[in-house]
Amino acid sequence: MSFFKRLKESIASKTEAVTTIFKEGLSKTRTAFVEKVEELITRRKKIDEEFYEELEEILIGADVGVNTVMKLIDELRAEVKKRKIEDAADLQPVLSEKLVELLKGDDSEKTALRMSGSGITVILFVGVNGVGKTTTIGKLAYKYKNEGKSVLLAAGDTFRAGAIEQLEVWGQRVGVDVIKQQSGSDPAAVMFDAVQAAKQRGVDILLCDTAGRLQNKSNLMEELNKIFRVIQREIPDAPHEVLLVLDATTGQNALSQAKLFGEKSGVTGLVLTKLDGTAKGGIVIAIRNELNLPVKLVGLGEKMQDLQEFDSEQFVHALFAGLIKDQEEPEEDETQQ
């Protein structure tokens, strides 16, 4: 069975609504990346050095990242040799397969958000200002509330003017309470209040906002460590997730931010926002491959339901949707004859 057919069958078991969200959200990347690959394959037909060079350029242009591109091209060369592929058209499913492997990494089971076995699940959000952190928290609160869970929000970004109000607006929109203090308060004190409130009310999930930027990195890490200590004193196995929110439209800058925060800040997973607004969706592949951190959530549009749990198969299927459809049509024609 061909790779695209297997991919389509795997996607068939997933909800059509989610598949549509991925397809629509990645349309800009599909146009900029996959259509260029298809055009290269149609034009060149033969796999030679020039073909690899042009493919390299397309991948780097989609922000797949130089290191990842080099690795990918090396793997493609090896597969071409092994499978004795001569026609460029036969390389497309191989490329798609490699992308799924890169996106899954060694820990595909870790892409689901980790929840507490019993009691309150605490999810902490970190990241610089302007990446869509508060919006992500609001949309995740909406998702959990829709699933019948009780949710509480903690306004831990007490440094940025308007951050508390912004979170309150989301709280009202979604219908969940926000635990807050005055602007300029100690974020760790807000977290203490939030954990106490979550315990008293018996909520299922506590989503915590944090400051995007302090004077320097050591201040930021110090602040985060203080927040960790306060939360862990009250709920020893928390936080269950520390999600670093990145703006996909900033491309390689998002990768630099991820490296800056890194695992030292206790980050357990990544959220990539605004994927619908960029043609450089390849940054997901670069980040996934260059950092030992799973992508947990992706923002694929402005609607509440456009925040989705990351799914490598949905991602690649959405990118290559046109090609999969093209492959189906000849098969259907044959069955009709």
128 is in an annotated binding site: yes
Task: Judge if 144 and 131 occupy the same domain.
Answer: yes
Instruction: Assign 23 a pLDDT band (cuts: 50, 70, 90).
Output: confident
> Is 273 assigned a ligand-binding role in the annotation?
yes
Q: Is the dihedral of CA 139, 142, 143, 144 positive or negative?
A: positive
Provide the mean pLDDT of the chain.
84
With a cut of 50, say whether residue 335 has pLDDT above it. Answer: no
Q: What is the pLDDT of residues 238-272, one digit of tens each?
A: 999 999 999 988 877 888 888 777 656 688 899 99
Indicate if 87 and 122 belong to the same structural domain. no
Same domain, 64 and 170: no
38 and 141 fall within a common domain = no
166/287 same-domain check: yes
* CATH number for the domain harbouring residue 330: 1.20.120.140
Q: Supply the pTM of this predicted model.
A: 0.85
290 and 323 together in one domain? no
Q: Would you place residue 237 in the very low, low, confident or very high pLDDT band (cuts 50, 70, 90)?
A: very high
* 134 plus 104 within the same structural domain: no
E strand residue ranges, 110-169: 121-126, 151-156
Cβ 100 vs Cβ 3: under 8 Å: no
Q: Say if residue 274 carries a ligand binding annotation.
A: yes
Token couple for 233? 């004193």
Strand blocks (E) in 51-148: 121-126
Q: How many angstroms separate the CA atoms of 162 and 219, rounded?
A: 21
Q: What is the pLDDT of residues 145-189, one digit of tens each?
A: 999 999 999 999 998 878 999 999 999 999 999 999 998 899 999
133 is in an annotated binding site: yes
31 is in an annotated binding site: no
The total number of structural domains in the chain stands at 2
Phi then psi dihedrals of residue 282, to 5 deg: -60, -15
**269 marked among binding-site residues:** no
What mean pLDDT comes out for the span 286-292?
A: 80
Query: In this structure, are 302 and 171 located in the same domain?
Result: yes
- For the record, the structure tokens of 155 come out as 């306004």
- Do 145 and 231 lie in one domain? The reply is yes
Residue burial 164-188, b: 16+ Cβ < 10 Å; e: rest = bebbbebbeebebbbbbbeeebebb
Q: Is 129 annotated as a binding residue?
A: yes
Domain of 277: which CATH number? 3.40.50.300
Q: Is 213 part of any known ligand binding site?
A: yes
- Residue 263 sits in which domain range? 109-312
Tokens (6 digits) for 228: 């960790």
* Distance in angstroms (rounded) separating the CA atoms of residues 132 and 121: 22
pLDDT digits (tens, 9 = 90+) for 24-50: 898 888 887 888 888 888 888 788 899
202 and 275 assigned to the same domain: yes
- Whether 132 has a binding-site annotation, put simply, is yes
Instruction: Specify the 3-state DSSP secondary structure of 307.
Output: strand
Same domain for 117 and 206:
yes
Binding residue per annotation — 210?
yes
Is 81 annotated to bind ligand? no
Q: Are 156 and 223 in contact (CB under 8 A)?
A: no
The answer to whether residues 198 and 126 belong to one domain is: yes
Binding residue per annotation — 275? yes
pLDDT at 138 over 90: yes
Consult the annotation and say whether 131 binds a ligand. Answer: yes
Collect all residues with Cβ–Cβ distance below 8 Å to 151 and sequence separation of at least 6. 141, 144, 145, 174, 176, 203, 204, 205, 206, 207
